[in-house]
Structure 1
């Protein structure tokens, strides 16, 4: 087997011209060996070409499917940030497929004070040379105002579903099987947001406890679909899944992790970037110590051009080659850290995204925090990012739990959290509203448990959030009423709603609010007895949202008078019908509030339809509430979830405890 000079671009393994070109980025390496694995063993070929930090070579006759890895030579000087160790076989960070899942084993360890000389080739999955194709994707392309997100685990969504064939459960093919597609179409969701889908590590901490990394937030193979979710051809199975979702009118959003890798801190294994160029890819402090602003032991350095290029190339790969329609960025504040380490609105990653012709056209969602200094950055991301709004989650939970003084906070969330997001031309859809997510209680557990129950995780219940704002309601009817009120608040508020998979069927994790290691019945969605009434209720809520544009506007509402009729676009009302004064908003016992919503004053007439919607939210006891003047239609009463719409001629309505009512009417001044 011979090797030629090849070319430095593109990075990764690229088939063509009768062979395969290999290119690897390492600014501090002294030599790079390409290792080809065949039935007869390992063949090592030193990459002969170098262009700046890019090492490259071309192997004639090699074809897609070839198995390979790298051994990178250089200094072992941890105090300078260098940890080169050619005894360790390294996964190509640009590998588009791996031949096995990644599970920690002792020979992966790099060494502490000196290099560990054990050869790790037998325990490291091999990178696979893959064909590079860019299909013509037929994308649904839903606008943000039309979007309803469904967050799901790629495996857990299907593992117990009785109508998904057993051989497809837990795989990409099962995820887009007809029973799942039919369920999502019935609900009316427009996008599925999948927990990490790239190849990740089962880390030592979990392996030694007999657990596995179920959620997948320990990435190693950024370009490669996770092998455990597929058969012989992970890439094609993933693409076929995407095609099926697209054909059903559903976009695919990936939860991506570019804030850290599964290599951890100095105690972690050497799998890829640590051995390729530790000092370039990771943020390091004095004496080469890892800066940990993610809680995982390391932090990727996106202020470095090589790390930034890796991320940008990876994102474009998932869009162009794999067909995805957007990304949710885990701990995105880390990605917004510049060379100084501070979170910056013009950090290299954010600037690169803004000018990229591929990525600026897909949906981008930031989880706007990390654990480092200044890491809580809610509202700080620039267009075109939307953001997970944890203030919505907490304020809605606390209002419906009956916490004192929460009505004003809830009002801000229902109106789109303008005080957080209305800046620099950002739309109201910048707020992704959620009550629950994978990280925390399910909706059923939120109304069933006052405290977390994470003992199965093996950490003596120390892990997971303590501030859950939950309540152990003993009465099943009270639980159901609370769930409906929370769901109605989320789906009918301005912004973009995100539903946690399983909440619509009453799924429980038995009080575990951190099921990251529970690849079992705790973490899987339980389809054995789905709550059909709740499914119908969620479907109805989503349909109301779709039918009434005033509930999903892209402009913020600021109670301004509209030119077309002189009526304010947002009018808050107390139960007697009058508008709240400052002392009312400050009343800690205020539990019921109404809001009359019209098309935004700052938008064109008719942009949000020709109607008004009146929402009443009552976290207190049963009460009567006056309706604004006009002929109203009651669209929904969460206390009577199966009741049909009805014309409402009375001047007031009776609101049950823990309930939401939704009314609509045409605005007389706009009727034509």
Structure 2
């Protein structure tokens, strides 16, 4: 049984899974939003279906489900709630939160006027299957689609903030100057605001609150899937892959007080995880947790992943709160059915798979446990590298381990699976790491309580914006050192858009609800010196196979030297105050000289002396 709408010669067949419902209706809407209800029939496996004669591509529709209503037992059937088909490939407009969407059954509130409608879509022509466009040791560039081009002066105003804008020649030129291997799009699936944001005058900006796993949010792609497909094609032509950030750990229906939009109204007991007493499990911090290893949910997830590969040519996926994909009754299991099925699927097996390897549930921190075929966000890299440049004592060994691929975490593999990053959408920007010791999140309306409290950041003597030339120079120096560290690290590296030229969020380290100048990238105020430094690092990394390598390094391949050119001995590794070292590749002679101290230093290497300014990295390639 194929779920969703299937366009046929005489009309469209609609199929929906809802085993505990007593009745389902297909609801068709004409141009004046007049509704026609067609009763659906149930088969022995819990699938409901109806043949809608004369209904074709472009038809707008929703679902209604009736049955027992007992939220405490996970039953939310309410025929007054219009529902989005989980397999709808498009919606006619964006979701807008309204308290009436969460009204209890019996209050007589029909939500049809408040809900977007699904749109019947025709399949795009088949795409030739090609290997993913990606360098395993390349740069992943994290992009929030809307804010990336809202202020871009070269992008036509009508196109700004959309997926199509990513294919603009000026954008592609910037990506190529950074030698981006793949852009990673923060969630593009249709999402809804959290209920507390409206009264604060805010909206969800990041998109980590999905309602649909197929439909693209029309605010980001007015032309829908075709817009994504055309943009992917343009990026592929430039040698750049596309990764989608997918949120399968929860949906926008939230906790027991949240709205009924789709999965909750069809079969909450199967789609969501519950405690023994019927309460929703919340391993996500958002109110509910998807039951990713329920057989029907696994099918939904796999079908949606295949959809984006087959219909748009997507090269891979990053999975938000990744442990949700492997959660079983006893906890996280790297051999969970969904994880195995993704690896074995003929369409998905060769895709780039990136896990955010933590959530807030029991045993939620799973860094290093996703196994072969998976890359993993490495927050240990982020924290240790920040602490080294902040000047914390005793960080030289951790710095060296992170620089060379985190063998303590991924050493069981031939190659590191680390995605090294110093800043991401969640937290301070790279520039703010050097300018703020404390988060400044009052704009979020939560009295500064939200966001990470410990950021391993520093402010160079003044908190926040400062126009003192010495403070500005110190911050610029530190951003350059951080960028140098990232581009010299083995394994995949990730950079959040704008960090290559010093963007700031004014100290806000949780800007999920800031769809405004706090988050939008201001292309006219780029730090051109920092940007030029990033471009130079990118060009060097592209040329130097050693920097782009992923194999776990051994002492046979590299040597660690002190300033005098002698091997670091045990005492120097254990020296709590040491902030200088050099890594030299034996075969090529390429050397990375790191000076984390506040004074300039000269390194005496076998190939000659290298001058390294205070708090900087110098890379020396021997003359050929």
Classify the TM-score, shorter chain. over 0.9
Alignment of 1:252-271 (within 5 A): 252-271=242-261
Identify the match of residue 662 of structure 1 among 599, 619, 622.
619
Helix, strand or coil: the match of 1:204? coil
Q: What's the CA shift for 1:625?
A: 4.2
Q: 1:281 aligns to what? A: 271
Q: 2:559 matched to 1:571?
A: yes
Q: Does 1:367 align with 2:359?
A: no
Cα drift, residue 434 of structure 1: 0.6
Q: Distance in 2 between matches of 1:351 and 1:26?
A: 26
Q: Is 1:70 aligned to residue 59 of structure 2?
A: no
Partner secondary structure for residue 370 of structure 1: coil
- SS for the counterpart of 2:590 is strand
Structure-1 separation of matches of 2:273 and 2:369: 22
Cα shift at 1:153? 0.6
Contact 1:405–1:588 (CA under 8 A) maintained in structure 2: yes
String of CA shifts for 1:174-220, please: whole Å, max 9, x gaps: 22212211211122112111110000002211112111000000000
Q: What residue in structure 2 maps to residue 536 of structure 1?
A: 532
Mapping of residues 355-394 of structure 1, within 5 Å: 355-394=344-383
Secondary structure, aligned partner of 2:206: coil
The separation in 1 between residues aligned to 2:574 and 2:178, in whole angstroms, is 38
Check the 8 A contact 2:151/2:520 in 1, yes or no.
yes
Q: Does 1:25 align with 2:17?
A: yes
Shift of 1:55: 1.5
Taking the aligned partners of 1:426 and 1:92, their CA distance within structure 2 comes to 44
| 2:450 matches 1:463 | yes
Q: Runs of 5+ in structure 1 lacking a partner?
A: 1-7, 560-567, 599-609, 632-649
1: CA distance, partners of 2:561 / 2:600: 14
1:319 match: 309
Deviation at 1:142, TM superposition (A): 3.7
1:150 aligns with 2:138: no
Cα drift, residue 135 of structure 1: 3.5
2:574 alignment partner, one of 562, 579, 586? 586
SS at match of 2:43: strand
* Partner of residue 389 from structure 2, selected from 400, 413, 416: 400
Q: Distance in 1 between matches of 2:28 and 2:358?
A: 41
Q: Deviations over 1:484-529 (max 9, x none)?
A: 1111111111111111101112211111111100000001011122
Contact 1:81–1:287, Cα closer than 8 Å, also in 2:
no
CA deviation after TM superposition for structure 1 residue 552, in Å: 1.8
| Aligned match for 1:619, one of 596, 601, 607 | 596
Q: Are 1:500 and 2:496 matched, yes or no?
A: yes
1:431-470 to structure 2, matched below 5 A, reads: 431-470=418-457
What TM-score results when the alignment is normalised by the length of structure 2? 0.95
**Secondary structure in 2 matching 1:533:** helix
How far the C-alpha of 1:32 sits from its partner, in A, is: 1.3
State whether residues 15 and 131 of structure 1, in contact with CA within 8 Å, keep that contact through their aligned partners in structure 2: yes
1:133 Cα shift?
Answer: 2.4
* In 1, Cα distance between equivalents of 2:131 and 2:372: 22
Provide the secondary structure at the position in 2 that maps to 1:349. Answer: helix
Equivalent of 1:167 in 158, 167, 176: 158
Q: Which residue of 2 aligns with 1:118?
A: 109
Segment drifting more, 620-629 vs 471-480: 620-629
The reply on whether 1:39 has 2:39 as its aligned counterpart is: no
Q: Distance in 1 between matches of 2:249 and 2:330?
A: 13
The alignment partner of 2:353 has SS state of: strand
In structure 1, the residue matched to 2:219 is: 228
The separation in 1 between residues aligned to 2:475 and 2:440, in whole angstroms, is: 19
Q: 2:17 & 2:569 partners in 1: Cα distance?
A: 62
Q: Which residue of 1 aligns with 2:233?
A: 243
Tell me what 2:324 maps to. 334
Matched residue of 1:179: which SS?
A: helix
Equivalent-residue separation in structure 2 for 1:444 and 1:288 (angstroms): 45
Counterpart in 2 of 1:219? 210
C-alpha separation between the residues in 1 aligned to 2:59 and 2:309? 25
Aligned to 1:484: 480
CA contact (8 A) 2:71 2:256 kept: no
Q: 1:146·1:546 contact (CA, 8 Å) conserved in 2?
A: no
Q: Give me the TM-score of the superposition, normalised by structure 1.
A: 0.89
Q: How does 1:3-18 map to 2 (within 5 A)?
A: 8-9=1-2, 11-18=3-10
> Per the alignment, in what secondary structure is the counterpart of residue 408 of structure 2?
helix
- Which residue of the partner structure matches residue 94 of structure 1? 87
Deviation at 1:146, TM superposition (A): 4.7
Distance 1:45 1:289 in 2: 33
* Higher relative contact order, chain-length normalized (CA < 8 Å, sep 6+): 2
Counterpart CA distance in 1 for 2:185 and 2:458 is: 28
- Bigger mean CA deviation after superposition, 346-355 or 575-584: 575-584
Instruction: Note the 1:182-197 alignment, pairs <5 A.
Output: 182-197=173-188
Separation in structure 2 between the aligned mates of residue 139 and residue 511 of structure 1, nearest angstrom: 42
User: Could you list the runs of 5+ residues in structure 2 that have no partner in the other structure?
Assistant: 463-470
Aligned length: 614
CA apart distance, 1:134: 4.7
Q: Secondary structure at the match of 2:280?
A: coil
Distance 1:156 1:138 in 2: 31
Distance 1:553 1:179 in 2: 29
